[in-house]
Amino acid sequence: MNRIAPARPRRSALFVPGSNPRALQKAPQLSADAVILDLEDAVLPTAKVTARTEVLAAVARRPFGTREVVIRINGLDTEWGIADLRAAATSGADGILLPKVDTPATLLAAARVLDELAAPPGLRLWSMAETPRGVLDVDDIARCTPRLGVIVMGTADLGKALRVPGQPGRAGLVPALAHCVLAARAAGLDILDGVYMQLTDPAGFRAECVQGRHLGFDGKTLIHPGQLDACNEIFGVSDADAASAAELIAAWETAAATGAGVAVHAGRLVERLHVDDARRQLALHRAIRHHGRPAGPA
């Protein structure tokens, strides 16, 4: 199975606690490409059921404009997981994020529930890679069901499990991050980098975004709205980048019209693979311009 993901903006995916009504109300006004309404880590056990009700109500109001709306449910092996999944299946959300996915069996079980409930064909599963076993088996996980749309790195839990100290550059995590990017690309999936926990370190956040972009991630999950602008900038396609991509395509097409198999643009040799990438960049640039516009007051 090798699906080519469409050029859909996923530069920034903001976690929003499902038990925080103020955050749920504010989320539609933010510039995130996706909002992840969280029923898991951000919600205390005593608030799980209430949070589910609040999240379902927020999705039903449909205030999010063109943003992707994803519900992170509790693990299927918890007392809340199956009820979360069944509720999310017909909620109108775009995706359901499953935490701590260790094996394909978890996603296959979730996909069966969605099929049994006649969930919309476009409803996608998102899968968190945040355990050593899940990272080792991510290739099988990424290819196990056509319902899967996105891999999400859970770097905090993964770092803890690996006993890797937090440090600039994430040297201890880079092999796992690169491995997951490779698996996602082999399956034609998008993949998002994990959260940055230091809210008072904007320079460190920008550096980690740049690193993630260089590793091949499509975007990054976030825990605070103050991180959105930098994330969207670094994982986005600027007007200058789009103009350069258009010029590269034009140079290739001019050369191809003469029968040449290569072209030169800005002193760089251009082959078809560069043209394919430029076309995707242009498509992403167009999508960004029309995506995630703030909705009206909820």
- pLDDT of 249-277, one tens digit each? 999 999 999 998 889 999 999 999 999 99
Same domain, 273 and 229: no
Residue 1: what pLDDT?
Answer: 43
Same domain, 126 and 268: no
**Boundary-marking domain end, from 213, 235, 257:** 235
Q: What is the mean pLDDT of residues 226-231?
A: 97
Higher pLDDT, 222 or 298: 222
**Boundary-marking domain end, from 198, 214, 235:** 235
Q: What is the mean pLDDT of residues 108-135?
A: 97
Residue 15: what pLDDT?
Answer: 98
Residue 6: what pLDDT?
Answer: 56
**Boundary-marking domain end, from 235, 250, 277:** 235
Residue 289: what pLDDT?
Answer: 85
Same domain, 188 and 243: no
Residue 270: what pLDDT?
Answer: 92
Length of the chain measured in residues: 298
Segments forming the whole domain that contains residue 220: 12-235
| Mean model confidence pLDDT for the chain | 93
- Say if residue 65's pLDDT is above 90: no
- Domains: count for the chain: 2
Same domain, 75 and 182: yes
Q: Is the dihedral of CA 58, 61, 63, 64 positive or negative?
A: positive
pTM of the model: 0.92
Same domain, 33 and 104: yes
The three-point CA angle 197-199-202 to 5° equals 110
CATH code where residue 25 lies: 3.20.20.60
Residue 298: what pLDDT?
Answer: 38
- Say if residue 114's pLDDT is above 70: yes
Token readout for 167 is: 């440090």
Q: Is the dihedral of CA 44, 46, 52, 58 positive or negative?
A: negative
